[in-house]
Copies of this chain bind each other. A is one copy, B any other.
Amino acid sequence: MSYQYRLDFKVRDYECDLQGIVNNAVYQNYLEHCRHEFLLDRGVDFAALSRDGINLVVVRAELDYKRSLTSQDEFYIGLNMSMMDRVRFVFEQSVIRQSDSTLCLQARIVATALNERGRPKIPKGFIEQLTP
């Protein structure tokens, strides 16, 4: 697989729940962190946009849980982004365990940008910065 961006992680014990595996919700933390690092790498600062009244928001998340990550697992997230239509973009994200290249989670995240009145508003130059 080829990715526009890739980020390495290691499971932290506090992310595991009483089943001894990474809790379902934590994968969304991982995915968000990967997206924000990707944006930053392309010159888009999520926190600064938020202070300027532009909120990047997720409108739909589809998560397929394939295998569980557990204590000490090292993994990476591969990311590809594309435009879905004029105001929505899609992140395809794969969570891959390092030791055996197993796909643990496949995610499809649809997002948009909202202005202070909650209307879709893509910042100027945004798409040019982010898409290949």
Q: Give residues in A with beta carbon < 8 Å to B.
A: 12-14, 16-20, 23-26, 28-29, 32-33, 36, 40, 45-47, 50-51, 55, 57-65, 68, 70-72
Contacts and interface: CB of A to CB of B under 8 A. Distances in A.
Contact of A12 (B33, B63, B68, B70): B33
Contacts of A57: 19, 65, 68
Contacts of A12: 29, 32-33, 36
A62 B65 contact: no
Nearest to A71: B47
Contact of A28 (B25, B59, B70, B72): B25
A13 B58 CA distance: 15
A62 B60 CA distance: 7
